[in-house]
Amino acid sequence: MRKLLSFLVLIALYSCGDPAGATSATTSGSSSGSSFTSAVSTAELEARELESPNIRVEIGGVPLQGALLIGQFAEQQFRADEAIVEGNAVVFKRDEPYKPGHYYCYFSDGAAVQLLIDQDQTFSLSAPTAQNALRDMKVEGSVENELFYELLKFEAGQQEDFRQLGDAVRSASPGSPEYEKLQADRKALVDQRLEYQNKLFAKHPKSLFTSFKRAGRNPQLRDVRLPDGTIDEQAQVAAFREDFWNDVDFNDIRLLNTPVIFNKLKRYIQELTPQNADAIIESSDKLISKVLDKPEFFKFFANWITLQYEPGKTTVMDGAAIHVHMIQNYFTKERAFWSDSMTVYGLQQRADQMAYSLVGQKGPDITVPDMNGTPRRLYDLKKPFIAVYMYNPECEHCIEETPKFVKVMNELKSELDVYAIALDTDQTKWKNFVKANGMSEWTNVYDPTNRSIFKTYYVDNTPELYLLNKDRVIVGKNLKVAQLKDAIRIAKEKE
């Protein structure tokens, strides 16, 4: 595969902090929903004086060698510090404060302890064993962690009840009296948990604990009904998506140093949003409109969504449309404050090229010289479908895929024309490749200047395969040869 255009420049834009020694670690942070009163603002956070940390963790039965403090920024986990050993405890101590957020203390045997770090960075956690840490954790000197472990203990106490109810619901017949009772019992448990959370939140509304745990809650399902009185599930899902971010305080930048923001973003875009370009663009715009005046959240959301739908990295049909939309709307010199003007200009140029060949648009009509030097116009081809096939004679994947394409074409030649464009080569290599692969029945073209195909069919990797229907609208791109028959079948079904 020949990579024709590098995207390292955009990766460089995504500079979310200074993680060093990234490591994998289990993350958490979820519950279930309501609205909030404002937590700590960015200005308040920046005005705070954080004390030099002295955090003592004593867990019975764990090895004391090699304990690490693992932090998180957005989706990146990083090594924040390494512990020293004092008696039976590991201690994290230094002059520079840790950034407020959610952390793990990892021991060399894989045991882990969660902790919240905010303004007060002198405290201790202790438990007789790692296995029973949620139940038996003792906290001294940190209200944040007292609240955190109080709630974790309460939620752990409910887990078995939730599990038993879940098993029983799956065994009951929907609509039966038994089923309805089990659902009511489950709702009562959820309400009990919410009431417990809300009591803790009310006591310390500006704590990191409250902001973190509140943000992780799911919104309550709205009671949306059809005219016949039954639940309108489609409208209910749409309302859930609409309410999904209600409990997140985008004024509180501490949340970016917890797993909750990344977990919610990934779920919102990849699970709650239909996986097509139009729906993802709509959801992305709605979310980003909430944070245009919240620089760090805006920066993270814009970069993550844009990178997620980079051509070649996504299975969403025409993910390039999402990618182009994000760059053209949010990676501008007015908005992309984290990047220099030349980088933004380069991204805009690239998006502009990609915008000419998105699924659903008319395929650009091009005229390129053939093997005899005769100009050949794409739109002069007459069959119901046209495959625009771009390749390089020395590209390994092109060498592998082209014979497969020739074989498939023998089955599709009554309804499919091929307009094959050679790229980044010379006349001799091009003609030898056409002859060696039996491509003589195709329309074979090559323009060494690339002028005739400039800003037309965007190529990220070769081979690149587009499919145009009878109206010469692009109905498939980034196709593999093996997908071509299905792409034609689907296009026919939509006519």
- Where are the chain's structural domains? 18-272, 367-494
DSSP readout, 311-361?
A: TTS--STTHHHHHHHHHHHHSSTTT-TTS-HHHHHHHHHHHHHHGGG-TTS
Strands 122-127 and 112-117: unpaired
pLDDT (0 to 100) of residue 335: 96
Domain 367-494 part of CATH 3.40.30.10: yes
Is residue 17 within 8 Å of 299, Cβ to Cβ? Answer: no
Q: What pLDDT shows up at residue 319? A: 86
Which of 6-10, 79-83, 92-96, 121-125 is predicted least confidently?
6-10
> pLDDT tens digits, residue range 461-479?
899 999 999 999 999 988 8
Q: How far apart are CA 29 and CA 256, in angstroms?
A: 12
110-115 mean pLDDT: 94
Average pLDDT of 422-429? Answer: 94
- Residue 149, Cβ neighbours under 10 Å: how many? 25
Residue predicted with more confidence, 19 or 444: 444
pLDDT over 90 percentage in the chain: 72
- Angle at the Cα of 139 from the Cα atoms of 26 and 207, rounded to 5 degrees: 75
- Taking residues 259-263, what's their average pLDDT? 97
Q: Name 57's Cβ contacts closer than 8 Å, sequence gap at least 6.
A: 67, 83, 89, 90, 91, 92, 105, 113, 115, 124, 125, 126
DSSP assignment of 437-495 equals TT-TTSEEEE-TT-GGGTTSS--SEESEEEEE-TT-BEEE-S--GGGHHHHHHHHHHH-
365 Cβ neighbours under 8 A, 6+ residues apart = 377, 378, 379, 472
- Cβ 446 vs Cβ 420: under 8 Å: no
Three-class SS state of 223 = coil
CA angle 317, 366, 471 (to 5 degrees): 55
CA–CA dist 340, 210 (Å, integer): 37
The amino acid that residue 449 corresponds to is T
Q: Which residue in the block uniquely carries the two structure tokens 């977990």?
A: 263
Quote the distance between the C-alpha of residue 211 and its chain's center. Answer: 22
Confidence of residue 158 (pLDDT cuts 50, 70, 90): very high
Chain centroid to Cα 334, Å, comes to: 24
Q: How far apart are CA 380 and CA 367, in angstroms?
A: 10
Reply yes or no on whether the pLDDT at 4 is more than 80. Answer: no
Q: What is the DSSP letter of 30?
A: -
Dig out the tokens for 183 from the structure. Answer: 């659902």
pLDDT of residue 12: 35
Bridge-based pairing of strands 385-391 and 464-468 is antiparallel
Confidence grade of residue 46 (pLDDT, cut at 50, 70, 90) = low
User: Is residue 153's pLDDT more than 50?
Assistant: yes
Average pLDDT of the residues of the chain: 88
Q: Could you tell me the two tokens for 132?
A: 């029973």
pLDDT: which is higher, 230 or 55 = 55
How far apart CA 21 and CA 18 sit, in angstroms, is: 10
pLDDT in tens, 198-222: 999 999 999 999 999 999 999 988 8
- For residues 373-397, give the mean pLDDT: 96
* Token reading at 114: 């969660």
Handedness of CA 302, 307, 311, 313 (dihedral sign): negative
**What's the whole-number mean pLDDT along residues 23-52?**
46
The pLDDT of residue 135 is: 87
Res 229: pLDDT: 85
pLDDT: which is higher, 167 or 452: 167
When pLDDT is averaged across residues 345-355 and rounded to a whole number, the result is 91
H/E segment holding residue 263: helix 260-270
pLDDT at 330: 97
Query: Does pLDDT of 29 surpass 70?
Result: no
Residues 6+ apart with CB under 8 A from 59: 107, 111, 113, 125, 126, 127, 129, 130, 133
Residue 32's pLDDT band, with cuts at 50, 70 and 90, is very low
3-state secondary structure of 35: coil
